[in-house]
Amino acid sequence: MAKVSIIGGGSWGIALAVLLHKNGHHITVWSALEKEIEMLKEKHEHKMLPGVILPEDMVFTADDKEAVEGKDLLVMAVASAYTRETAHRLSSLVASEQKIVNVAKGIEEKTLMTLSEIIEQEIPQADVAVLSGPSHAEEVGRGIPTTIVVGAKSKKTAEYIQNLFMNEVFRVYVSPDVLGIELGGSLKNVVALAAGIADGLGYGDNTKAALITRGITEIARLGIAMGGKFETFCGLTGIGDLIVTCASMHSRNRRAGILIGQGKTYEEAMEEVQMVVEGVYSAKAAMALAKKYDVQLPIIEQVNAVLFDGKSADQAVKDLMLRDKKIEVPDLGWERE
């Protein structure tokens, strides 16, 4: 049995807390929000996971020391916008080589750093890994079969975390491609906004399929330019995560996109969804990375134009459709000219 702290009391962190508790581990849940901790203590249920009852022996705390000291693993489950602040806050309490697995998805707009890079910068003494894949909290909390990937620099660390999380309904693979895993998990949120916008405009399955397939091409194009591996973008944290985020109403990015397609601003959409919409935060960062690495991201570029430049969603779709003619796979040769 391991001592595990979930850093962040949102729905994803709570779903993983339930999973890890069922695996026999001693679980502490920490949140910087006192009201959130009081709600969890009182109700033993998260409002975003109705029906998922939290065990009586699960510990809920807002005390930093209680959450960090003596723990075998810290699960960093705060929204991407708060990753740096939280890592900085807890840094002095983290022991040398203490393991941290980040489960949030995003890219920091100002620095263009992935979340694991932020954690490593703020807590250099930690052993940092990532966990990502097609995994809605609503389904993981209910024990619906899910498959996911742990990425780490060390095989030993990846396998340690794999063993803590894996059970008959939660299959865990391991990978050394930490960068590719994080880029896939972050950039798919921007494409999911595009998929939601298309739904909000009343488009159909053909449009959704086009956005998913061309979207993963964009994600892989940028990811490979940055050093990620092609195979990662073909796997669970690439095409797998993209499919589930573009297709499911559990996806806050898709739901926000639908509202934007119906004419709302991204601020109005996020307020209505009542959850952090990570794709909004990653969209600008994706375009900055595209410029830095000289990569074309036409779908993500149009999402940015709709979100931040006042472009109408239907015009963005038209501009995508009327781009210059292209070869789908440029590296393939022709039998005849």
Give all domains of the chain, ordered by start, each with its CATH number. Answer: 3-176 (3.40.50.720), 179-321 (1.10.1040.10)
**30, 100, 40, 94: which is closest to 67 by C-alpha?**
30
What pLDDT was estimated at residue 233? 97
pLDDT < 70 positions in the chain: none
Question: What SS3 class is residue 128?
Answer: strand
What pLDDT was estimated at residue 274? 79
What pLDDT was estimated at residue 53? 94
What pLDDT was estimated at residue 293? 97
What pLDDT was estimated at residue 275? 78
User: What is the tens place of the pLDDT at every residue in 267-290?
Assistant: 999 889 877 788 988 999 999 999
| CA dist., res. 285 & res. 320, Å (int) | 20
Answering whether pTM is above 0.75, one says yes
Residues recognised as catalytic:
188
What pLDDT was estimated at residue 255? 94
DSSP 63: -
**C-alpha distance from residue 292 to each of 226, 277, 288 (Å):** 10, 24, 6
Q: H/E element holding 156?
A: helix 155-165
Region class of 336: left (phi > 0), else alpha (psi between -120 and 50), else beta: beta
What pLDDT was estimated at residue 27? 98
Count Cβ atoms within 10 A of the Cβ of residue 184 and give its class: 0-12 exposed, 13-18 middle, 19 or more buried. buried
What pLDDT was estimated at residue 281? 87
Please name the residue that has the structure tokens 């022991």: 95
What pLDDT was estimated at residue 337? 81
Q: H/E element holding 212?
A: helix 205-226
What pLDDT was estimated at residue 192? 95
State phi, psi for 308 to the nearest 5 degrees.
Answer: -115, -15
What pLDDT was estimated at residue 191? 96
What pLDDT was estimated at residue 115? 97
What pLDDT was estimated at residue 331? 87
What pLDDT was estimated at residue 276? 78
What pLDDT was estimated at residue 12? 96
